């Protein structure tokens, strides 16, 4: 059996699903493949979806499906601290300055479920999962993917969304620059006694930042980054001891807390592909880039990739160009520079804040306080957090 599409996307994670939906929204037919059944994936993490990224979910009809599962981020508070001593000199972002939330917290399982349902409902997308891919061929004529059952899929363009260890990227000979941090992150969710009021907190400790991200039903997701040794030790603590240490770092402003999800630990690194395209191939999401979670922008980078590619596809279709031809260079130029700049910025922030050198710590605190009093700086940072700077793809515009 032979199936023909405009685009074949390999990888049905959050970015792969969104890429398929965004391109289908622009009129392209998409074959979406994965080695596992997406519905069976279980991810206890939550994601901060920037305001511009959420605008895309509204355009694609995803936002309505997430009703009741999304917590708007109405305020952001950034502080420098030591355990048991958080500096009062903080940087504060009020979403009123933006005219709406800076972002929205949603649990990954809920987001995946909504995206998957929308994919299954789309007439322009054919989801094949789980499947075993036997071979992929890219040449001047097009793309062909042969499955284990001998089904052949043909298209003009292949989209690699198969993660940071992408076999498609490796097969294309695209090198990556990878810088490992001596850090890991613990991710979990806890219930708390006092309301969070939609405020996201980022507290910088010597070993790394602790992000407290508001969820629905009086819960918070945490991303606690620290040295690999410290995180390994924290993961060895029983639940009571871990909760006590977390409470000590938070400082008690949320009252009594209790874990309501398993703890997961991940090594942290910065990884950037040298280029995002090859013959009839584009990279999106973690296949192209992976950054430190310090700014909560990892998923949003991938969502921007999806929206930018959809615009390039739409433009090519409108003038009858080959979807896998020279036009994919526009995607490369649009996304590679932006993503590398964000990667460098998060790397610098992590290096600046993840140390306990007294003069630097003092300067950090004064810098946060100064930025808090300087309205243009606040406006710039809040627009960055909301993903509303630079040239936005059409799906990211409200």
pLDDT in tens, 131-164: 999 999 999 999 999 999 999 999 999 999 999 9
Share of the chain above pLDDT 90, in %: 72
Domain of 302, in residue numbers: 2-177+269-396
Question: What is the rounded distance in angstroms from the CA atom of residue 149 to the CA atom of residue 358?
Answer: 63
Q: How many domains would you assign to the chain?
A: 1
The pLDDT value recorded for residue 278 is 98
Q: Is the pLDDT of residue 382 over 70?
A: no
- Nearest Cα neighbor of 324 from 44, 1, 2, 5 is 5
Do residues 264 and 45 make contact, with C-beta atoms less than 8 angstroms apart? yes
Q: Is the pLDDT of residue 72 over 60?
A: yes
Mean pLDDT of 80-93: 56
Mean pLDDT of 71-88: 72
234 found inside a domain: no
Q: State how far the alpha carbon of 354 is from the alpha carbons of 144, 210, 346, in Å.
A: 47, 11, 12
Q: State how far the alpha carbon of 297 is from the alpha carbons of 191, 290, 397, in Å.
A: 24, 10, 18
95 found inside a domain: yes
Q: What 8-state DSSP symbol labels residue 34?
A: -
CATH of the domain at 364: 3.50.50.60
pLDDT digits (tens, 9 = 90+) for 193-216: 999 999 999 888 888 889 999 999
321 found inside a domain: yes
Mean pLDDT of 161-190: 96
At residue 81 the predicted structure's pLDDT band, cuts being 50, 70 and 90, is low
Between 320 and 378, whose confidence is greater? 320
Q: Over the Cα atoms of the chain, what is R_g?
A: 21
Mean pLDDT of 109-138: 97
Question: What is the rounded distance in angstroms from the CA atom of residue 316 to the CA atom of residue 138?
Answer: 19
The pLDDT value recorded for residue 31 is 98
**Length of the chain, in residues:** 398
Please, is 322 exposed, middle or buried when counting C-beta atoms within 10 Å of its C-beta (0-12, 13-18, 19+)?
Answer: middle
Q: Is the pLDDT of residue 394 over 70?
A: yes
Share of the chain above pLDDT 70, in %: 86
33 found inside a domain: yes
Question: What is the rounded distance in angstroms from the CA atom of residue 213 to the CA atom of residue 202?
Answer: 8
Q: Is the pLDDT of residue 235 over 80?
A: yes
Q: What is the pTM of this model?
A: 0.91
308 found inside a domain: yes
Lowest-confidence pick of 11-15, 85-89, 107-111: 85-89
Lowest-confidence pick of 34-48, 70-84, 213-227, 305-319: 70-84
69 found inside a domain: yes
Token code pair at residue 163: 């993660």
Q: Is the pLDDT of residue 357 over 90?
A: no
Helix spans in 135-290 (H): 167-171, 228-236, 239-250
Question: What is the rounded distance in angstroms from the CA atom of residue 205 to the CA atom of residue 37?
Answer: 39
**Dihedral sign, Cα of residue 169, residue 46, residue 182, residue 88:** positive
Do residues 195 and 218 make contact, with C-beta atoms less than 8 angstroms apart? yes
The pLDDT value recorded for residue 344 is 85
Mean pLDDT of 104-119: 97
212 found inside a domain: no
| Strands laid side by side in the 142-147 sheet | 2-4, 152-155, 142-147, 133-139
pLDDT digits (tens, 9 = 90+) for 285-329: 999 999 989 878 899 999 999 999 999 999 999 999 999 999 999
Three-state DSSP at 4 gives strand
The pLDDT value recorded for residue 257 is 97
| Strands laid side by side in the 46-50 sheet | 46-50, 103-107, 70-73
The pLDDT value recorded for residue 120 is 97
Lowest-confidence pick of 7-11, 169-173, 303-307, 377-381: 377-381
Q: Is the pLDDT of residue 366 over 70?
A: no
Mean pLDDT of 331-342: 92
147 found inside a domain: yes
At residue 374 the predicted structure's pLDDT band, cuts being 50, 70 and 90, is very low
């Amino acid at each position: 059996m032979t199936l023909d599409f405009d685009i074949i996307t390999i990888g049905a994670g959050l970015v792969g699903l969104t890429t398929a939906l965004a391109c289908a929204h622009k009129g392209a037919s998409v074959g979406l493949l994965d080695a596992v059944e997406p519905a069976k994936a279980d991810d206890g993490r939550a994601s901060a979806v920037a305001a511009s990224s959420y605008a895309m979910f509204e355009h694609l009809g995803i936002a309505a499906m997430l009703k009741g599962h999304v917590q708007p981020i109405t305020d952001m508070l950034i502080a420098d601290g030591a355990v048991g001593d958080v500096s009062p000199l903080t940087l504060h972002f009020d979403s009123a300055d933006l005219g709406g939330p800076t972002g929205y917290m949603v649990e990954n399982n809920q987001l995946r479920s909504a995206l998957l349902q929308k994919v299954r409902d789309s007439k322009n997308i054919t989801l094949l999962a789980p499947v075993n891919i036997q071979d992929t061929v890219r040449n001047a004529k097009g793309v062909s993917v042969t499955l284990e059952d001998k089904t052949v899929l043909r298209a003009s363009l292949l989209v690699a969304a198969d993660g940071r260890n992408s076999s498609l990227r490796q097969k294309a000979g695209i090198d990556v620059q990878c810088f490992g941090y001596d850090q890991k992150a613990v991710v979990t969710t806890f219930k708390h006694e006092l309301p969070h009021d939609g405020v996201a907190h980022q507290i910088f400790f010597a070993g790394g930042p602790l992000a407290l991200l508001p969820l629905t039903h009086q819960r918070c997701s945490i991303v606690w980054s620290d040295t690999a040794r410290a995180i390994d030790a924290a993961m060895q603590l029983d639940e009571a001891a871990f909760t006590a240490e977390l409470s000590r770092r938070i400082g008690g402003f949320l009252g009594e807390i209790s874990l309501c999800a398993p703890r997961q630990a991940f090594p942290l690194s910065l990884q950037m592909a040298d280029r995002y395209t090859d013959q009839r191939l584009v990279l999106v999401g973690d296949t192209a880039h992976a950054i430190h979670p310090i700014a909560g922008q990892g998923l949003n980078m991938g969502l921007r990739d999806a929206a930018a590619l959809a615009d390039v596809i739409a433009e090519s279709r409108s003038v009858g160009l080959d979807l896998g031809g020279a036009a994919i260079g526009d995607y490369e130029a649009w996304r590679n520079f932006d993503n590398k700049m964000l990667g460098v910025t998060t790397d610098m922030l992590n290096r600046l804040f993840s140390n306990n050198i007294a003069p630097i710590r003092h300067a950090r605190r004064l810098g946060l306080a100064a930025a808090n009093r300087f309205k243009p700086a606040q406006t710039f940072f809040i627009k960055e957090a909301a993903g509303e700077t630079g040239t936005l793809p059409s799906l990211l515009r409200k």
